[in-house]
């Protein structure tokens, strides 16, 4: 399909990302000396937040017991 161009809908330009406002505020606070931990980047280990051992153990147990499938789309009432 050489030469195929797919356009972008005009409404895409109206999409807003709330995290950008928070990131701007965080940058300002950081520059003023406030310690900011940017967890929005999705890598808490980078900031010394380790996964607790009991969670790792539960994960391994669930995988070994084949409890690694999708849950119901409506969620689990007990959670």
Q: What DSSP string runs through 28-59?
A: HHHHTT-----GGGS-GGGGT-PPPHHHHHHH
For the cut 70, the answer to whether the pLDDT of residue 22 exceeds it is yes
pLDDT one-digit tens code per residue, 48-79 = 888 999 999 999 999 999 988 888 999 989 98
Surface-to-core class of residue 32, CB atoms within 10 Å of its CB (0-12 exposed, 13-18 middle, 19+ buried) = exposed
The mean pLDDT value for 12-28 works out to 88
Tokens 């017991």, residue located = 65
């Amino acid at each position: 399909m050489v030469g195929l161009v797919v356009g972008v809908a005009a409404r895409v330009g109206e999409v807003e990302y709330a995290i950008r406002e928070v990131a701007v505020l965080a940058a300002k606070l950081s520059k003023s000396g406030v310690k900011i931990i940017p967890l929005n980047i999705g890598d808490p280990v980078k900031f010394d937040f380790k996964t607790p051992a009991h969670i790792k153990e539960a994960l391994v147990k669930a995988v070994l017991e084949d409890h690694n499938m999708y849950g119901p789309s409506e969620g689990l009432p007990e959670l």
